Amino acid sequence: MKYSNFKEPRLSLLGFGLMRLPVTPDGEIDREVTFRMVDYAIEHGINYFDTAYPYHGGLSEVVAGETLRRHPRES
């Protein structure tokens, strides 16, 4: 993974966007698939995650919190 040298901690140049997350047939964010995707990204060095309130009707930030809370903050 390539990282920026702008500030500490170093940020991965490749980020993970949480704008278009997988959804279940009923239209809800598929948390289990999202958890696996984020776990994979972290395991491969990504430490920059992007979300915003409007994504998924305001639920992207909620799911991002649930997902990332499962990992130590310093990771």
Q: What is the mean pLDDT of residues 23-41?
A: 97
Decide if 26 is inside a domain. Answer: yes
Is 30 inside any structural domain?
A: yes
**For a pLDDT cut of 90, what percent of the chain falls above it?**
84
Please give the model's pTM, rounded to 2 decimal places.
0.86
Per-residue confidence band for 10, with pLDDT thresholds at 50, 70 and 90: confident
In whole angstroms, give the CA distance from residue 45 to residue 9. Answer: 13
pLDDT for position 75 = 66
Q: Is the pLDDT of residue 5 over 90?
A: no
| Structural domain boundaries, residue 45 | 21-68
Q: If 0-12 CB within 10 Å is exposed, 13-18 middle and 19+ buried, where does residue 11 land? A: middle
Number of domains composing the chain: 1
pLDDT confidence band for 8 (50 / 70 / 90): confident
Q: What is the pLDDT of residue 73?
A: 80
